[in-house]
Amino acid sequence: GNSVTQMEGPVTLSEEAFLTINCTYTATGYPSLFWYVQYPGEGLQLLLKATKADDKGSNKGFEATYRKETTSFHLEKGSVQVSDSAVYFCALSEINNNDMRFGAGTRLTVKP
Amino acid sequence: GAVVSQHPSRVICKSGTSVKIECRSLDFQATTMFWYRQFPKQSLMLMATSNEGSKATYEQGVEKDKFLINHASLTLSTLTVTSAHPEDSSFYICSASARRLAGRDEQYFGPGTRLTVT
């Protein structure tokens, strides 16, 4: 079945540091890939997505590229801010939209 | 666009009582709604999927008689936790999808409801 594996946290960085959160997936078909962010006490917000191989999703300085050859969708940001502190979830969904799978989540803390 | 709301945001109830959580799509018609459960510091676990006007499809291990889901209209789904017990305390998140919005494979998430059973 489909699954998502994320690097375990927590991750603690200083402000302006470079961020990478690894995500790899297993899928039988051609899924869409997502990164969601969850701030304390809140629901999930879509951060970015990619729907096919080699697509790059980007938003708020975050980027992730859909790599079919390595089945990966790593999240990167060149310079993190304190306000980026949150939990980040990698997810995939097949075209039928009824099978969204989430990674375990990675908690990021950015210190000033 | 594509806003999903949940009500209430927090609820505390006594053991043995029932609690209803509402999930609404505010600016679109949701053909499918999903209910997730999230334990502290863990990922989301899909509980059930509901399509408007039909019975919900529950994931394995989820008690359908305990977690009653009603999707009465294209903008509203409700989750009722019946005879709640402390182990039902959790963060419940709904999401909604609509095929006419931004492709068929995107779900829009509500802000979540924190249930505490005492």
Q: Give the per-residue pLDDT at A49.
A: 93
Searching chain B, which residue's CA lies closest to the CA of residue A49?
B106
A43 with B111: CB under 8 angstroms? yes
As a whole number, the mean pLDDT across chain A is: 92
Report whether pLDDT(B52) > 90.
no
Report whether pLDDT(B97) > 90.
no
Best mean pLDDT range from A92-96, B99-103, B104-108: A92-96
Searching chain A, which residue's CA lies closest to the CA of residue B45?
A102
Select the residue of B34, B106, B111 nearest A42 (Cβ to Cβ): B111
Q: Give the per-residue pLDDT at A87.
A: 94
Average pLDDT of B69-88? 93
Inter-chain CB proximity B109 and A43 less than 8 Å: yes
Please indicate if any CB of chain B lies within 8 Å of the CB of A59: no
Burial A41-65 (b: 16+ CB within 10 A, else e): ebbbebbbbbbeeeeebeeeebbbb
B40 with B115: CB under 8 angstroms? no
Pairs across A and B, CB distance < 8 A: 58
CA pair distance B22, A9, nearest whole angstrom? 32
pLDDT interval class at B76 (50, 70, 90): very high
Best mean pLDDT range from A27-31, A96-100, B27-31, B46-50: B46-50
Q: Give the per-residue pLDDT at B104.
A: 54
Inter-chain CB proximity A104 and B42 less than 8 Å: yes
Q: Which of A88, A89, A94, A100 to mutate to test the interface with B (most CBs of B within 10 A)?
A: A100
For chain B, the farthest-separated pair of C-alpha atoms sits apart, in whole angstroms, at: 42
pLDDT interval class at B2 (50, 70, 90): confident
Report whether pLDDT(B41) > 70.
yes
Average pLDDT of A26-53? 90
Report whether pLDDT(B29) > 80.
yes
- What the block records as the tokens of B68 is 């009653």
CA pair distance A15, B12, nearest whole angstrom? 38
Average pLDDT of B2-22? 95
Three-state DSSP at A67 gives strand
Task: Give percent of chain B above pLDDT 90.
Answer: 67
Q: What does the DSSP assignment read for B67-109?
A: EEEEEEETTEEEEEE-S--GGG-EEEEEEEE-TTSSSTT--EE
Q: How many CA atoms lie within 13 A of B13 on its CB side?
A: 24
CA distances from A72 to A55, A63, A68, A92 (A): 12, 13, 7, 11
- Tell me which chain B residues have a C-beta less than 8 angstroms from the C-beta of A89: 43-44
Q: Give the per-residue pLDDT at A76.
A: 98
A47 with A35: CB under 8 angstroms? yes
Q: Give the per-residue pLDDT at B98.
A: 76
- Tell me which chain A residues have a C-beta less than 8 angstroms from the C-beta of B109: 36, 43-46
In sequence order, the β-bridge partners of residue B13 are: B117
Inter-chain CB proximity B42 and A105 less than 8 Å: yes
Q: Give the per-residue pLDDT at A97.
A: 53
- Cβ contacts of B41 within 8 Å, gap of 6 or more: A105, A107
Can you tell me which residue has the tokens 């959160």?
A21
pLDDT digits (tens, 9 = 90+) for A3-36: 899 988 899 999 999 999 999 999 887 899 999 9
Query: Which of A14-23, A59-68, A89-98, B108-117 has the weakest average pLDDT?
Result: A89-98
Report whether pLDDT(B101) > 60.
no
